[in-house]
Chain A
Amino acid sequence: MLSSLRGRFALILIVVAISGWQLYSKGLKQGLDLQGGMHLVLEVDDPDGTLTTAARADAIDRAERIIRTRVDGLGVEEPLIQKVGSERLIVELAGIRDEGRAKSILNEAAFLEFKLVLPTTEVGSTLSRLDRAIVATLSEDEIASLGQRAAPVTPGQRTIEDLLFAGGDTSRLADSATTQAEDTASTRPTARPFTALLNTGDVEGSYLVATEDVESIQSFLALGEVQRALPRNVSLTFETQPVGVGARTYRRLYVLEKDAFMTGESLENATAGRDQMFNQSQVQFELNRAGGRRFAQFTAQHVGDYLAIVLDGQVMSAPVIRARIGARGQIDLGASPLDEARDLALVLRAGALPAKLRVMEERTVGPSLGQDSVDQAKIAGIVGVVLVVSIMIGYYHMAGMLAVVALGVYSILVLGGLAGLNATLTLPGIAGLILSVGMAVDANVLIFERIREELAAGRANRTALEEGFGNALSAIVDSNVTTLITALVLFQFGTGPVRGFAVTLSIGIVASFFSALFVTRTLFLLYLSGKKTSDLISI
Chain B
Amino acid sequence: MRVFQHANYHYIENRKRAYVASGTVIIVGIVGMIVNLFTIGSWQHYGVDFTGGSLVQVRFLDDVEAGSVRNAVPGASEVTRFDQQNEFVIRASLEEGMPVDSLSTQMEAQLAQAFGAGRFEIVRTELVGPKIGAELQQKAALAVLVSFALTLIYLAFRFEWRFGVAAIIATVHDLLITVGVLALMRVEISVTTVAAVLTIVGYSLNDTIIVFDRIREALGKKGARKADYVGLINRAINETLPRTTLTLVSSFVVLLAILALGPVVIRSFAFVLLVGITVGTFSSIFVASPALVEIQKRWGRGDESKPKKTRPAPATV
Q: Which residues of A contact B (CB under 8 A)?
A: 33, 41, 47, 103, 358-366, 368-369, 372-373, 376-377, 379-381, 383-385, 387-388, 391-392, 394-395, 427-428, 430-432, 434-435, 437-439, 441-442, 445-446, 449, 453, 471, 474-475, 478-483, 485-487, 489-490, 492-498, 501-502, 505
Contact = CB atoms under 8 A, between A and B. Distances in A.
Contacts of A438: 247, 250-255
Interface string B236-267: 00011011001101111111011011111110
Contacts of B140: 493
Given A368-B123, A497-B191, A505-B199, A483 B205 contact: yes
Contacts of B217: 471, 474
B192 A490 contact: no
A485 B191 contact: no
B1 interface: yes
Contacts of A493: 139-140, 142-143, 198
B128 A486 contact: no
Contacts of B278: none
B146 interface: yes
Overall SS of chain A's interface: helix
A427 B257 contact: no
A383 to B, nearest CB: 4
Contacts of A430: 266
Nearest to B122: A366
Interface in B71-130: 97, 99-101, 104, 121-129
A360 B132 contact: yes
A483 B202 contact: yes
A489 B143 contact: yes
Contact of B246 (A384, A435, A445): A445
Given A41-B129, A373-B265, 4 more contacts: A387-B253, A428-B269, A441-B250, A479-B207
B247 A376 contact: no
B113 to A, nearest CB: 15
30 contacts: A33-B265, A359-B127, A361-B100, A361-B129, A361-B132, A366-B124, A368-B123, A376-B262, A377-B266, A381-B257, A384-B253, A388-B253, A427-B263, A427-B266, A428-B266, A428-B269, A435-B254, A439-B251, A441-B247, A445-B250, A453-B239, A479-B213, A485-B151, A486-B198, A486-B202, A492-B146, A493-B139, A493-B140, A493-B142, A505-B202
A369 B269 CA distance: 18
B287 interface: no
A271 B264 CA distance: 46
A388 B266 contact: no
A437 B254 contact: yes
A490 B243 contact: no
Given A366-B122, A395-B1, A485 B154 contact: yes
Interface residues of B, number: 74
A483 B150 CA distance: 11
A482 B206 contact: yes
B59 interface: yes
Contacts of A474: 213, 216-217
B201 interface: yes
A252 to B, nearest CB: 24
Nearest to B205: A482
Nearest to A498: B195
The 6 A-B residue pairs whose C-beta atoms are closest, nearest first, are: A486-B202, A380-B262, A384-B257, A493-B143, A475-B213, A438-B251
A475 B215 CA distance: 11
B210 interface: yes
Given A41-B132, A387-B257, A446 B243 contact: yes
B192 A368 contact: no
Contacts of B194: 498
Contacts of A497: 191-192, 195
B125 A479 contact: no
Given A368-B59, A445-B243, A435 B129 contact: no
Contact of A388 (B1, B201, B254): B254
B147 interface: yes
A435 B272 CA distance: 13
A359 B99 contact: yes
A391 B250 CA distance: 7
B247 A442 contact: yes
B191 to A, nearest CB: 5
B209 A479 contact: yes
B44 interface: no
A392 B240 CA distance: 17
A161 B108 CA distance: 34
B254 A365 contact: no
A88 to B, nearest CB: 9
Contacts of B246: 391, 395, 441, 445
Nearest to B54: A362
B131 interface: yes
Contacts of B139: 493
A81 B10 CA distance: 57
Contact of A435 (B121, B132, B158, B251): B251
Given A438-B254, A493-B140, A498-B191, A431 B123 contact: no
Given A437-B254, A474-B213, A483-B202, A361 B154 contact: no
A435 B252 CA distance: 9
B31 interface: no
A312 B28 CA distance: 55
Contact of A494 (B191, B210, B266): B191
B273 interface: yes
A445 B269 contact: no
Contacts of A362: 100-101, 104, 125-127
A416 B266 CA distance: 24
A427 B252 CA distance: 19
Nearest to B139: A493
Interface in B121-176: 121-129, 131-132, 139-140, 142-143, 146-147, 150-151, 154-155, 158-159
Nearest to A434: B254
A361 B269 contact: no
B60 interface: no
B229 interface: no
Nearest to A107: B101
Given A438-B254, A442-B247, A498-B194, A482 B261 contact: no
Contacts of A384: 253-254, 257-258
